[in-house]
Structure 1
Amino acid sequence: MKYAPVQNYINGQFVDASTDQTLPVISPLDGTLLSAVPMSAPKDLDAAVRAAKIAFHGWSHTPIKERVQVLFRYRYLLEKHLQELAALVSEENGKTMGEAIAEIEKCIELTEFAVSLPQLVTGEVLEVSKGVECRTEHVPLGVVASIVPFNFPSMVPNWTIPNALALGNCMIIKPSEKVPLSVGRLAQLLKEAGLPDGVFNVVNGDSAIVNAICDHPGIAAVSFVGSTKVAKIVYQRSTHHYKRCLALGGAKNHLLVLPDAKADMTAQNVAASMSGCAGQRCMAASAMVAVGNVDHIIQKICEEAKKIVPGQNLGAVISKEAKERIEHYITEAEAQGAKILVDGRHTTVPGKEQGTYVGPTVIDYVKPEMSVAKEEIFGPVISIMRTDTVDEALAIENANPYGNAASVFTQNGGMARYVIDRASAGMIGVNVGVPVPREPFSFGGWNESKFGVGDITGKSSIEFWTKLKKSTVKWNPEAGINWMS
C-alpha cells in the first residue's frame, strides 16, 4: 500500500476502528492499491458523538468572530497545501490534476464564504413598543453529520464543514469508502488551524454507519450527497427520527441547443460539461436537446470530444464496475437504434492498463424513452435528442424526474428568459454548460435531485445549520402593559 491504513479521527486523534474489517482503496488512475479503509461499527460513531457533545459547549459559546479565525487559518493552509491536496484527490478519485486543483480552489472559496458569516448572522432587533425590544439570533443545532460521496473528495465535504463549524456546530463526517484519504488530511489541517479537539470527527465505513448516523439520537441534523435512491432513504430515515435532513440526489441535466447558438462556444461548453471530472458530477451535461437544425453544432461537438484524450485531459471513472455500467448504457442505446458519433468504449491508457477509463461518447438520435436519455449515467457520455420546437424540448426536460440543472444555448434574450421561466430545475444556465452558482449564491436542485428545505451552500445554508431564537425584553415598568407587552 502506498499510504498507511485509514483511521477514524475522534476527539482530535487518529484512532483504529473497533472492527478488523476493511476495504481496499484503489486508484482509478492505474489500479494502484493506495490504502485500506475500516468498516467502522456503531460503537465508533458513539465515541465520535460523545466527543462532539463534550466539545459543543465550549465551541458554541465561543463568539463567532473567534470561531471564524480558525477557518481563516484553515483557508491559508488549503492554499499552502494546494498541490498536495490536489494530488491526493487525483490519486483516489481519478481526476486530472487540473480538475483536482480546481476542486481545492473551490474549497478555498467555500471557506472564504464561511469566514464572512459574522456579517450575515447578526440577527435583528426592533423596538416594537415603548421600551420593549424583540431580538432574533442564530443558535447552533449541536452535533451534526455530513455524509459525502466519492466524486469530489474535498469539495463536497467543504460544502458543509466551514459553514457548519463557523455557525457553532460540532461535526461528524462520513467519507465515501472509495475516497477516504482527502477527508483525513482535511482533519489534520483543521487541527493545525487551531480547531479544538472534538469539534470535527471522521468515522469511516459503509452503509452501516450511514444508517447509524440517521438513527443516532445524539445527532441533530444530517446532510447527504449521493444518488437519489440513497438520498430518499437517508431523508426518510433521518426525518423519521425527527432530525433535520438535506439530502442531495442525482441528476439528468438537459442542454437545449437552438439554431442561433454560437457554434464554437456551444460545442466547447457542451463537450467540457459532459466530460469534465469524467462526467462524474451532478452538474454534468448528460442530455442535449437539439432544437431544429443544429447539425453544424453537433459536428463541432464531436470535433471537440475527439480532442479529449483519456489519461491526458480526461480522468478515470471511479471503478471497474462504473466503467462496465457506463459502457452498458452506450451498448444498449446503440442496440435500440441510437447512432454512436464518438465512441468511448473499451478505452485503455498505455502504461495504465489497470486504470478505469471511458472515452468521451456522443450518442445521436436518442429517443426520450431510452434508458440513456432518462437515467443518470455518471460518465463522459452525452445523449442527443431532437425536436422541432423549444416547447417540445422543454416538455422532455420537464418530464424527467430530476431537477438539478438545465441550460439553453441561444443568442436570443427573450428565448433565454422563456426557458429560464419554464425549465424545471433549480440551477439554470444561459450559454453556460455547468451553471454552478458561485458563493454567496447557494447550490441546490429541485424535484428528485434534492430532499429537504433550503440549499447546502451559500446564505441558504445558514437556516439549515442553525435555529432561530427570539427574545422579547422590557425594562420600563412605568410604561405599563398593553397588548404588545
Structure 2
Amino acid sequence: MKYSPIQNYINGQFIDAATDQTLAVISPVDGTLLSTVPLSTAHDLDTAVKAAKAAFPAWSRTTIKERVQVFFRYKALLEKNINELAALVQEENGKTYDEAVAEIEKGAELAEFACSLPQIVTGEILEVSRGVECRTEHVPLGVVASIVPFNFPSMVPNWTIPNAIALGNCMIIKPSEKVPLSVGRLAELLQEAGLPKGVFNVVHGDREIVEAICDHPGIEAVSFVGSTKIAKAVYKRATSNYKRCLALGGAKNHLIVLPDAIPGMTAQNITASMAGCAGQRCMAASAMVAVGPVDHIIEKLCEEAQKMVPGKNLGAVINRASKDRIERYITEAESQGAKVLVDGRNPTVEGKEEGTYVGPTVIDYVRPDMAIAQEEIFGPVISIMRTNTVDEALAIENANPYGNAASVFTQNGGMARYVIDKASAGMVGVNVGVPVPREPFSFGGWNDSRFGVGDITGKSSIEFWTKLKKSTTKWNPEAGINWMS
C-alpha cells in the first residue's frame, strides 16, 4: 500500500473513524493499491458537525475582508504545489497528468473568485424616506456540507470550499470513496493558509454518510455532484429535512454539427470533448447530431479520435465496473445496427495491464431510441445520429431528459443564435466542445441535470450559501410618524 490509511479530518487534525470497516483505494492507472478509506458512521459525522458548530461563531463574525485572506494564500499554495497535487489526482482518478494540472489550475481560479467576494457581496443601502434607511446584507447559514464525485478529486471540491467558507460558513465535505486522497491534501493546504480549526472538516464514507448528512439537524445546506439517480435521492431527502439543497446530476450533451462547420476545428473540439478526462465529466460530448451532408467532418473526427492513445494522452476510467459498463453500451449499439467507426474496446496498455482503459470510440448511425443515445455513458464514446434539418436535431436534444450542455458547430451566426435559443440546456456553446463558463459566470444545467435553485459556482452561488438580512433604521425624529414607523 503506497499511502497510509485514510483518516477523517476534524477540528484541524486527522483522526481515525469510529469504525474498522474500510474500502480499498485502487489506482485505475495500473491497479496499484493506494490506500484504504474508512466507512465512517453517523457518530463520526456528528463529531465533525460539533466541531464546525463550535468554530462558526468566531468565523462568521470575522469580516469577509479578513476571511478571504485565507484564500489568497490558499490559491498561492495550490499553484506552489501544483505538480504534487496533479500527480495525486492522476494516481487516484486515472486522468492524464496534463488534465490533472488543468484541474488544479481551475481550482486556483475558483479560489481567486472567492477572493473577489468582498467587492461583490457589499449589500445595498437606500434612504427610502427622509431619515429612514433600508439595508440588505448577506449572512452565512452556519454548518454546510458538500458531497463530491470521483471524476474531479480536486476541482469539484473547490467549486464549493472557497465560496461557502469565504462567505462565513463552516463546512463538512464528503469525498468520493473512490478518490479520497486529494481532499485530505486540500485540508492540509487550507490549514497552512491559516484557516481556523473546525471551519473545514472531512468525513469519508459511502451511502451511510450521505444519508446522515441529509438527516443531520445541525447541517443547514447540502450541495451534491454525481449521477442523476443519486442527485434526486439526495435532493428529496435533504429537502424533506428542511435543508437547502443543490444537487447536480448527470448529462447527455448534444453537439449539433452543420455542413458549413470548419472540419478540422470541429473534429478537434469534438474529440477533445468526448475523450478528455476519458469522457468522465458531465460536460463531455457523448452525442453528435449530424445535420445533412457532414461525412467529411465525420472522417476528420475519426482521424482525430485515433490520435488519442490509452495510457499516453488518454487516461483510464475509474474502475473495472465502469470499463465493463461502457463497453457493454458499445457492443449493444453495434448489435442493434449502429456502425462502430473507431473501436476502443479492450485496449492493451503496455506496463499497465491492470489499468482500466477504454479507447476512443466513434459510433455512427445510432438511432435516438438506443440506450447509448439516451443514457450517460461516462466514457470516451461519441454516438452519431443523423438528421436532415436543425429542427430535427433540436427535437432529439430537447427530448432527452438531461439539460447540462449543448453546442452547435457552424459558421452561420443566425443559425447559432437559433440553436442557443431553442436548446434545452443550461450551458450552450458555439464551436466549443466543452461550454464551461469561466468565473465569475456560474456552472449549472437544467432539467434532470440539476435539482434545486441557482448554480454551484460564480455569482449565483452566493444566494445558495447565504441568507439575506434586511434592516430598516430611523434616526430622524423630525420625520414624524407614518406607515414606515
Give the TM-score, by structure 1 length. Answer: 1.00
Matches within 5 A, 1:191-206: 191-206=191-206
- Aligned equivalents of 2:479, 2:345: Cα separation in 1: 80
Partner of 1:285: 285
- Aligned equivalents of 1:479, 1:373: Cα separation in 2: 68
Amino acid at match of 2:333: A
CA distances 1:25-79 after superposition (whole Å, capped 9, x unpaired): 0000000000000000000000000000000000000000000001110011000
Amino acid at match of 1:395: A
CA distances 1:202-240 after superposition (whole Å, capped 9, x unpaired): 000000000000000000000000000000000000000
**Does the CA contact (< 8 Å) of 1:110 and 1:158 recur in 2?**
yes
Matches within 5 A, 1:346-357: 346-357=346-357
Deviation at 1:484, TM superposition (A): 2.5
Partner of 1:421: 421
Structure 2 unmatched ranges of 5 or more: none
- Aligned equivalents of 1:359, 1:338: Cα separation in 2: 18
Amino acid at match of 1:367: R
**Does the CA contact (< 8 Å) of 1:401 and 1:448 recur in 2?**
yes
- Aligned equivalents of 1:208, 1:479: Cα separation in 2: 59
Partner of 2:188: 188
**Does the CA contact (< 8 Å) of 1:289 and 1:387 recur in 2?**
yes
Deviation at 1:359, TM superposition (A): 0.0
Is 1:387 matched up with 2:387? yes
- Aligned equivalents of 1:178, 1:420: Cα separation in 2: 36
Percentage identity across paired residues of the two chains? 82
Amino acid at match of 1:19: T
- Aligned equivalents of 1:432, 1:484: Cα separation in 2: 53
- Aligned equivalents of 2:303, 2:77: Cα separation in 1: 40
- Aligned equivalents of 1:167, 1:347: Cα separation in 2: 47
**Does the CA contact (< 8 Å) of 1:96 and 1:314 recur in 2?**
yes
Matches within 5 A, 1:313-352: 313-352=313-352
Is 1:173 matched up with 2:173? yes
Partner of 2:480: 480
- Aligned equivalents of 1:299, 1:457: Cα separation in 2: 37
Secondary structure in 2 matching 1:58: helix
Give the TM-score, by structure 2 length. Answer: 1.00
Cα RMSD for the two superposed structures: 0.4
Is 1:117 matched up with 2:117? yes
- Aligned equivalents of 1:31, 1:348: Cα separation in 2: 14
Amino acid at match of 1:352: K
Deviation at 1:348, TM superposition (A): 2.0
Secondary structure in 1 matching 2:144: strand
Amino acid at match of 1:98: D
- Aligned equivalents of 1:483, 1:48: Cα separation in 2: 48
Partner of 1:255: 255
**Does the CA contact (< 8 Å) of 1:110 and 1:439 recur in 2?**
yes
Partner of 1:47: 47
- Aligned equivalents of 1:249, 1:406: Cα separation in 2: 16
- Aligned equivalents of 1:479, 1:246: Cα separation in 2: 45
Deviation at 1:177, TM superposition (A): 0.1
Matches within 5 A, 1:52-451: 52-451=52-451
CA distances 1:316-368 after superposition (whole Å, capped 9, x unpaired): 00000000000000000000000000000011200000000000000000000
- Aligned equivalents of 1:479, 1:234: Cα separation in 2: 52
Secondary structure in 2 matching 1:359: coil
CA distances 1:362-396 after superposition (whole Å, capped 9, x unpaired): 00000000000000000000000000000000000
Aligned length: 485
**Does the CA contact (< 8 Å) of 1:255 and 1:407 recur in 2?**
yes
- Aligned equivalents of 1:256, 1:24: Cα separation in 2: 41
Structure 1 unmatched ranges of 5 or more: none
Secondary structure in 2 matching 1:152: coil
Deviation at 1:483, TM superposition (A): 1.9
Deviation at 1:125, TM superposition (A): 0.2
- Aligned equivalents of 1:416, 1:482: Cα separation in 2: 55
- Aligned equivalents of 2:70, 2:318: Cα separation in 1: 33
**Does the CA contact (< 8 Å) of 1:404 and 1:427 recur in 2?**
yes
- Aligned equivalents of 1:41, 1:483: Cα separation in 2: 54
Is 1:462 matched up with 2:462? yes
- Aligned equivalents of 1:128, 1:46: Cα separation in 2: 45
Deviating beyond 6 angstroms after TM superposition, the runs of 4 or more aligned structure 1 residues are none
**Does the CA contact (< 8 Å) of 1:348 and 1:355 recur in 2?**
no
Amino acid at match of 1:312: K
